[in-house]
A = this chain, B = another copy of it.
């Protein structure tokens, strides 16, 4: 279905759940009287709201979709919803992020982030994890008013990095994101850390691994371009 893949020149990492742990958001949900296990449902609903907007030809900000999901799934007041959404500013990286970024950049491959989320969230989280110097640039689709997995999001990222789509890899823990990247001509890498199964309705990932480090190793093992 796609051309044989080669070692990427740049790897774009998704941010929420892929690089950054949503634990502070979950903690704030609990502080406001909601069960912590609700977070995956809220996050899924957030994505569904945004994807549907995109499918209908409109758009919304990630933060607004997140607060709308909270309004549909909880009894929180507007002020409480704001407090929970604000917790995205307190995220830190998962433990496998630093080793993966180190391995990648020491092999001469560039690293960027490609988020769906609010500008500033990725920057704060990377800084909190002490990995800012390992990341060349942070990108969010909010800058262009589209939502991943619209192919425009991935092609824009390739454009910003000044590489061909085939030279850019997208690494994410969400199968829909990997699928979208691959449909746009990128190399896709799925980390199985967050989903119990890759969604069978999508194109299988080019490479995969149980940790970000494993995914990076698999990308580096691809033949040179």
The number of residues on chain A lying at the interface, defined by a beta carbon within 8 Å of a beta carbon of chain B, is: 41
Chain B residues, Cβ within 8 Å of A51: 48, 51-52, 54-55
Q: How many copies does the complex hold?
A: 2
Which residues from 180 to 201 on chain A have a C-beta closer than 8 Å to any C-beta of chain B?
180, 183, 195-197, 199-201
Decide if A58 touches B183 in the complex (CB within 8 Å). Answer: yes
A179 within 8 A of B: yes
Chain B residues, Cβ within 8 Å of A201: 49-50, 53, 60, 64-65, 68
A149 within 8 A of B: yes
Specify which of B44, B49, B147, B200 is in contact with A176 (CB 8 Å cutoff). Answer: B49
| 4 A-B pairs closest in CB distance | A51-B51, A52-B176, A60-B201, A48-B48
- Give A contacts to B, CB under 8 Å: 40-41, 44-45, 47-58, 60, 64-65, 67-68, 71-73, 147-151, 176, 179-180, 183, 195-197, 199-203
User: Other than the known A55-B55, A64-B200, what 7 A-B pairs have Cβ atoms closer than 8 Å?
Assistant: A47-B48, A47-B52, A52-B149, A57-B151, A58-B203, A68-B197, A71-B197
